[in-house]
Structure 1
Amino acid sequence: MADQQLTDSRKVKHSQNRDQHTFKKRIPPRFPKRENDIYISNKSNFKSQFEKCEKLLDGNNNEILLHGLGAAIDRTINLALRLKEKFMDTCEIDVNTSTVSLQDDFEPTDDHVDYETQIRQNSAIHIRIYRTNLPTESTSSTTQQQ
């Protein structure tokens, strides 16, 4: 019962201050960016993200890391599965999930109101796509002779 009253009082507090604050989301934390790190969002073009991943895997990179946050998790999984399908049996996928703390700011619109922040949790996914060794011609011909 006490938890119910606490939750209700928080709702009232936010609804009273909503007119006095401007809501701004901060940029989510990122890992140090490397050449093979690709951050997936719903705003970027899926085809260009796919082509970038394809180019990296065809080039000198043996692995790429896809990072998706919140609503972009579905897109990140879809991209990883499409890449695995494209490269058939030469790619493997390693998936990790996590929870990320995000911070939002409530900037006051009036001088007599305090600046506030809010911390919320969001799901994240990190998919490692790596190339497996391709069978060489000498290995496959030896197997056929036996």
Structure 2
Amino acid sequence: MGDEINSKRKQDQQQNIQKRRPNKNYALKKRLPLRPKEGDNVIFITKKTNFKAQLDKCCDLLTKGEKDIILHGLGAAIQRCCNLALQVEALFAGTCQIEVNTGTVDLVDDLEPITDDLEFGAQVRHSSSIHIRIFRTALLGAN
């Protein structure tokens, strides 16, 4: 029973390695995704950045007079981006609204040859993306 589990685990690991490396003659290098327009009110949400710091940045921008802020999330950060937008909406209790757009982004990976006799290549993969616009509908002290 234990041997079957170990052999199954080894097969799964080999399949994962093959998925990450489409050809043994190439090394896969992931490029950074293209970013939409930059600005003070544009925030890119990642899994690595501290959630509290991202929340504080959003709140600071809205309290300092920004009419709207735009959150961008990609792949695994989509859930965090949604959670952040909902937290901001709850903190500003009825004075802001959320507008959500989803989509797919093309990501390019460079294939670098391990040996000198091969050419460089590239492959395209797709990743889900979300763009959330949080905008003020009323001033904070207007109630």
Q: TM-score, normalised by structure 2?
A: 0.81
Task: Give the CA deviation at 1:99.
Answer: 0.9
Q: Distance in 2 between matches of 1:34 and 1:64?
A: 10
5+ residue gaps in structure 2?
1-17
- Per the alignment, residue 36 of structure 1 pairs with 41
Residues 1:59 and 1:33: Cα distance change in structure 2 (over 3 Å): same
2:124 to 119, 127, 130: 119
Match for 1:26: what amino acid? R
**Cα deviation digits, residues 78-127 of structure 1 (max 9, x gap):** 00000011111111000001111110011011101221110111111000
Give the aligned length.
Answer: 126
Q: Distance in 2 between matches of 1:135 and 1:42?
A: 30
**Cα deviation digits, residues 51-84 of structure 1 (max 9, x gap):** 0000000002011000001110000000000001
1:88 to 80, 90, 93: 93
Is 1:67 paired with 2:72? yes
- Per the alignment, residue 106 of structure 2 pairs with 101
> Secondary structure of the residue that 2:89 maps to in structure 1?
helix
2:81 to 76, 90, 99: 76
Residues 1:135 and 1:28: Cα distance change in structure 2 (over 3 Å): closer
* Alignment root-mean-square deviation, CA: 2.2
> Secondary structure of the residue that 1:43 maps to in structure 2?
coil
Task: Give the CA deviation at 1:19.
Answer: 2.6
> Secondary structure of the residue that 1:124 maps to in structure 2?
strand
**Cα deviation digits, residues 29-63 of structure 1 (max 9, x gap):** 11120100000011111110000000000002011
Q: Distance in 2 between matches of 1:54 and 1:70?
A: 24
Q: Distance in 1 between matches of 2:139 and 2:39?
A: 25
Match for 1:24: what amino acid? K
5+ residue gaps in structure 1?
1-13, 141-146
Deviates more, 1:62-71 or 1:106-115: 106-115
- Give the structure with the larger helix fraction: 1
